[in-house]
């Protein structure tokens, strides 16, 4: 046992000795969460639009004013005719063009309808949809304001909208659980696989294997420091989210940490598994990148809603451990769920962990023989 | 020139000899393109709606019926108690709660503004905002229908036709009338793939020679360092362009993504861009001691680049300082340009500015990499 801890100490020295990697390990999550916490938001404001006002009368000016006063739109004054719209779209300068027909006020006063045309850049369908809705709300409000009670039916359904839990539509609420998962994966799986493969590539592994240490002790010794690092990183991300961005922690912190520990174990065993397959660091890196990081980012529900995926991908997402972990983290942090609600996910995660551990230890032994 | 040829030959042989690297260079991009394009779907549909109907009038039922008829919404339970709506939201059973207050129909028929309330779970900001936007449209449509139906009856003189004097709205979603999310994402994903392949391969390369000690052997040759770096850079440039072409083919054949602009323009820009990305990779490689380090720096930069690139969240929505920051981000330029050119048919004049920036950037970064690479360790 003493020998084992000596080995662990050696591994720690290796990591400590390399301040650059350490800085990255701890600086990276901090920088990322700060950057994204403040920068990534889905709230659309001040979208550049062009208003082609062919009427230039009272009504058109009022509509223009209320559009610009809404805070959603910013007028691009360079585009003032229909021909310019096409070019502005092509250069990506505007998101929408509002075309107000000539004689708007007169047509309205004379009781004829008038049609305002909205051309929106739908290359991004969601933004396009949202902008059109904002604009139509503004125009509807104009209509309501000018509906004189005597003439037409004053049927006015008002709408008040509340964005609960996250009024500014910040991305950070989803980002903290996601970032935690990714960091844990990165530190545990990627770092371990690379550090073991490195010994292989350098030929040091042979030296270690002829030492009196058991192979399993060598693996564990490689893994333990990263376990600590990963947990420290998890705490860091959690703390930042909680204290800087007011991400709620509705459930139990201890449960969250325990679940993180389980997830880290499964990631570490994946790392070991990769290192048994890969012969060089480059291969280990690319394998863990393509085989672990990308599925974690893509299919875990962190960035992309799983419900929207085709069935095949939804099925595949079940074998991505991160998917279950993210469900657990979101449940604990945002909804305050306890183990009673999350035992299925926890069991699945535990199952993965045992499976990967057994598999990787087995492979490691085979390789030695 | 001959030296460069020999060097290229060596690099290519090394790459093709590496059986593990080959599938990563050739098969992975296609797989990623297939998976990502289907996964990165931010289209919001099937918004789960919970209706709290305190009014229980025929109109309020008609309103919830209108939601039931919309393809965007999936109706969850109904209730007459507001608290039920709140807890449905809290438990995550519903994404959106529509609250119709008591006396709503009465107020409406009296000509007062009768307000309904929409409460969205905005933890997923996109879903919250779009769900509310869809709901707004359903309600507005109903409002419009009611005016048309009831207008002549409620209106006094009956002189005016329903809808008279009001502004109608016609909207057209340009460039992507089918509102297909893939059309938006796939060009961006292409950029992502090229960036990842280029940056990782380049950043791991020199540092690998360092770690294995073979760099010493190269250093004692009469090779000039510019030639050496060029020899490192060119194979990856060709591989990157190959991957790009491959991805473009997949995008075209599998997804039918439109290609409005010029192929030459896209490839010229891709070349410029790759030179920049590879230069960044080389720079990382020259400052790192181990592959692990290089990998981390590359990963760190990549994540930031990707999130601040406008691929997943629009740059315009970011705060001003973050928008300024994106000007330093190479990925931003290519994503902007590839979308403009592929989807809208932008020309050299339209994207000339971006091309200039990327070219200048590439020059600076590569100069730095050459300058930073020393022949002694």
B201-247: per-residue pLDDT in tens?
A: 888 778 888 877 888 887 788 878 778 888 888 888 998 999 899 88
Distance CA B275, CA B269 (A): 10
A-B Cβ pairs (cutoff 8 Å, strict): 384
Tell me the mean pLDDT in the region B304-320.
83
Tell me the mean pLDDT in the region A97-114.
82
Tell me the mean pLDDT in the region B274-287.
91
Question: Could you tell me where the DSSP H helices lie in chain B?
Answer: 2-17, 21-39, 58-69, 82-90, 104-109, 125-154, 181-212, 214-219, 225-255, 263-287, 291-307, 320-326, 330-344, 348-372
Per cent of chain B over pLDDT 90 is 16
Confidence (pLDDT) at A47: 87
Question: Chain A: nearest CA to B177, how far in angstroms?
Answer: 7
Question: Chain A: nearest CA to B198, how far in angstroms?
Answer: 12
Considering A63-77, A197-211, B80-94, the range whose residues carry the highest mean pLDDT is: A63-77
Average pLDDT score, chain B: 83
Per cent of chain A over pLDDT 90 is 9
Q: Does B28 touch chain A (CB under 8 A)?
A: yes
From chain B, pick out residues whose CB is under 8 angstroms from the CB of A39: 307-308, 318-319, 322, 325
Distance CA A43, CA B217 (A): 55
- Give residue A149's pLDDT band: very low, low, confident or very high (50, 70, 90): low
Confidence (pLDDT) at B162: 39
Confidence (pLDDT) at A155: 64
- Give residue B375's pLDDT band: very low, low, confident or very high (50, 70, 90): low
B window 95-124, beta carbon within 8 A of A = 108-109, 111-124
Q: Does B320 touch chain A (CB under 8 A)?
A: no
A window 95-154, beta carbon within 8 A of B = 95, 104, 108-109, 111-130, 132-137, 139-140, 142-144, 146-147, 149-154
Long-range contacts of B252-257 (CB under 8 A, 24+ apart): B254/B34, B254/B37, B255/B37, B255/B182, B255/B183, B255/B186, B257/B182, B257/B183, B257/B186, B257/B187, B257/B342, B257/B343
From chain B, pick out residues whose CB is under 8 angstroms from the CB of A128: 173, 176, 179
A window 31-70, beta carbon within 8 A of B = 31-32, 35-36, 38-48, 63
Q: Provide the edge-to-edge strand list for the sheet that holds A156-164.
A: A156-164, B113-121, B96-100, B47-53, B73-79
Q: Hey, are the CB atoms on A150 and B165 less than 8 Å from each other? A: no
Output B153 or A312, whichever has higher pLDDT.
A312
Q: Does B313 touch chain A (CB under 8 A)?
A: yes
Instruction: Report whether pLDDT(B320) > 50.
Output: yes
B window 231-290, beta carbon within 8 A of A = 288-290
Contact B238, B197 (CB under 8 A): no
DSSP class of residue A303?
Answer: S
Could you give the maximum distance between any two Cα atoms of chain A, in Å? 98
Q: Does A171 touch chain B (CB under 8 A)?
A: yes
Confidence (pLDDT) at A26: 84
Instruction: Report whether pLDDT(B175) > 90.
Output: no
Q: Hey, are the CB atoms on B39 and A299 less than 8 Å from each other? A: yes
Instruction: Give SS3 for B200.
Output: helix
Interface test with B, best of A126, A193, A290, A295 (most B CBs within 10 A): A126
- Give residue B50's pLDDT band: very low, low, confident or very high (50, 70, 90): very high
Q: How many CB atoms lie within 10 A of CB B100?
A: 25
Q: Hey, are the CB atoms on A310 and B153 less than 8 Å from each other? A: no
Give the contacts of A264 (CB within 8 A, at least 6 positions apart): A184, A188, A227, A230, A231, A234
Output A169 or B103, whichever has higher pLDDT.
B103
From chain B, pick out residues whose CB is under 8 angstroms from the CB of A95: 316
The CA radius of gyration of chain B, in Å to the nearest whole number, is: 29
- Give residue A348's pLDDT band: very low, low, confident or very high (50, 70, 90): very high
From chain A, pick out residues whose CB is under 8 angstroms from the CB of B313: 40-42, 171
Confidence (pLDDT) at A260: 93
Question: Chain B: nearest CA to A41, how far in angstroms?
Answer: 6
Tell me the mean pLDDT in the region B184-195.
88
Interface test with B, best of A63, A106, A157 (most B CBs within 10 A): A157
Considering A4-18, A249-263, A288-302, the range whose residues carry the highest mean pLDDT is: A249-263
Q: Does B222 touch chain A (CB under 8 A)?
A: no
From chain A, pick out residues whose CB is under 8 angstroms from the CB of B21: 282-283, 286
Q: Does A278 touch chain B (CB under 8 A)?
A: yes
Contact A255, A340 (CB under 8 A): no
User: Per residue in B236-276, pLDDT tens?
Assistant: 899 899 989 988 988 888 888 888 889 999 999 999 999 99
Instruction: Report whether pLDDT(B104) > 60.
Output: yes
- Give residue B365's pLDDT band: very low, low, confident or very high (50, 70, 90): very high
- Give residue A325's pLDDT band: very low, low, confident or very high (50, 70, 90): very high
Tell me the mean pLDDT in the region A57-85.
88
Query: Residue B308's closest CA among A128, A40, A38?
Result: A40
Question: Chain A: nearest CA to B287, how far in angstroms?
Answer: 11
Query: Residue B139's closest CA among B98, B175, B91?
Result: B98
Contact B315, A47 (CB under 8 A): no
Instruction: Report whether pLDDT(A135) > 60.
Output: yes
Q: What are phi and psi of B99, to 5 degrees?
A: -115, 115
Considering B183-197, B219-233, B272-286, the range whose residues carry the highest mean pLDDT is: B272-286
B window 158-197, beta carbon within 8 A of A = 159-177, 179-181, 183-184, 196
Question: Chain A: nearest CA to B357, how far in angstroms?
Answer: 15
Q: Does B359 touch chain A (CB under 8 A)?
A: no
Confidence (pLDDT) at B209: 82
Contact B122, A165 (CB under 8 A): yes
Chain centre to alpha carbon of residue A343: 25
Residue of B43, B129, B136 with shortest CB distance to A137: B136
Confidence (pLDDT) at A368: 47
Q: Hey, are the CB atoms on B291 and A124 less than 8 Å from each other? A: no
């Amino acid at each position: 046992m003493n020998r084992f801890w000596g080995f662990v100490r050696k591994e720690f020295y290796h990591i400590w000795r390399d301040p650059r990697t350490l800085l990255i390990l701890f600086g990276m999550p901090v920088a990322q969460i700060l950057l994204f916490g403040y920068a990534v938001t889905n709230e659309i404001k001040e979208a550049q639009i062009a208003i082609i006002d062919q009427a230039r009368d009272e009504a058109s000016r009022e509509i223009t004013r209320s559009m610009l006063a809404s805070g959603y739109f910013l007028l691009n004054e360079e585009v003032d005719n229909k021909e310019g719209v096409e070019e502005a779209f092509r250069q990506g300068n505007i998101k929408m063009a509002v075309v107000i027909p000539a004689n708007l006020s007169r047509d309205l006063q004379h009781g004829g309808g008038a049609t305002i045309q909205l051309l929106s850049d739908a290359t991004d369908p969601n933004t396009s949809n949202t902008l059109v809705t904002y604009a139509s709300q503004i125009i509807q409000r104009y209509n309501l304001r000018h509906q004189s009670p005597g003439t037409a039916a004053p049927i006015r359904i008002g709408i008040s909208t509340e964005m609960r839990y996250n009024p500014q539509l910040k991305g950070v609420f989803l980002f903290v659980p996601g970032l935690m998962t990714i960091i844990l994966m990165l530190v545990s799986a990627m770092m371990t696989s690379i550090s073991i493969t490195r010994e292989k590539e350098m030929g040091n592994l042979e030296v270690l294997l002829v030492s009196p240490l058991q192979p399993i002790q060598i693996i564990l010794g490689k893994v333990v420091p990263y376990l600590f690092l990963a947990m420290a990183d998890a705490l860091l991300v959690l703390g930042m989210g909680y204290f800087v961005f007011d991400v709620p922690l509705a459930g139990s912190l201890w449960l969250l940490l325990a679940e993180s520990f389980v997830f880290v174990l499964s990631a570490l065993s994946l790392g070991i598994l990769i290192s048994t397959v890969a012969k060089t660091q480059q291969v280990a890196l690319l394998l863990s990148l393509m085989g672990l990081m990308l599925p974690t980012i893509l299919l875990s529900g962190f960035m992309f809603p799983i419900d929207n995926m085709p069935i095949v991908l939804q099925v595949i997402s079940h074998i991505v451990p991160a998917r279950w972990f993210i469900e657990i983290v979101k449940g604990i942090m945002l909804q305050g769920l306890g183990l009673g609600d999350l035992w299925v996910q926890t069991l699945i995660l535990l199952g993965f962990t045992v499976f990967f551990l057994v598999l990787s230890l087995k492979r490691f032994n085979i390789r030695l023989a | 020139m001959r030296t460069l040829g020999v060097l290229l030959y060596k690099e290519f042989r090394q790459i093709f000899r590496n059986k593990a690297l080959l599938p990563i260079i050739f098969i992975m991009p296609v797989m990623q393109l297939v998976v990502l394009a289907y996964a990165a779907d931010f289209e919001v549909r099937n918004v789960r709606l919970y209706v709290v109907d305190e009014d229980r009038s025929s109109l309020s039922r008609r309103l919830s019926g209108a939601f039931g008829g919309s393809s965007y919404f999936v109706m969850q339970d109904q209730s007459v108690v507001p608290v039920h709506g709140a807890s449905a939201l809290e438990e995550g059973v519903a994404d959106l709660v529509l609250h119709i207050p008591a006396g709503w129909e009465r107020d409406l028929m009296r000509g007062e503004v009768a307000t309904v309330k929409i409460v969205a779970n905005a933890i997923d900001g996109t879903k919250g905002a779009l769900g509310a936007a869809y709901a707004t449209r359903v309600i507005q449509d109903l409002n419009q229908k009611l005016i048309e139906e009831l207008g002549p009856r409620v209106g006094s003189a009956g002189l005016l036709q329903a809808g008279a004097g009001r502004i109608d709205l016609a909207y057209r979603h340009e460039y992507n009338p089918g509102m297909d999310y893939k059309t938006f994402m796939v060009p961006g994903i292409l950029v992502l793939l090229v960036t990842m392949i280029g940056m990782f391969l380049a950043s791991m390369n020199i540092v690998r020679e360092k770690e294995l000690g073979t760099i010493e052997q190269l250093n004692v040759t009469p090779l000039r360092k510019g030639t050496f770096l060029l020899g490192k850079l060119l194979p990856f440039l060709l591989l990157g362009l190959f991957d790009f072409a491959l991805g473009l083919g997949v995008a075209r054949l599998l997804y039918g993504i439109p290609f409005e602009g010029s192929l030459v323009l896209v490839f010229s820009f891709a070349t410029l861009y790759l030179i920049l990305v590879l230069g960044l990779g080389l720079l990382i490689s020259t400052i790192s001691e181990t592959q692990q380090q290089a990998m981390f720096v590359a990963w760190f930069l990549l994540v930031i680049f990707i999130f601040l690139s406008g691929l997943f969240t629009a740059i315009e929505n970011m705060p001003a300082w973050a928008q300024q920051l994106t000007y330093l981000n190479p990925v931003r330029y290519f994503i902007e340009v590839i979308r403009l050119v592929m989807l809208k048919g932008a020309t050299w004049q339209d994207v000339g500015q971006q091309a200039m920036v990327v070219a200048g950037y590439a020059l600076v970064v590569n100069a730095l990499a050459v300058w930073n690479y020393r022949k002694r360790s």
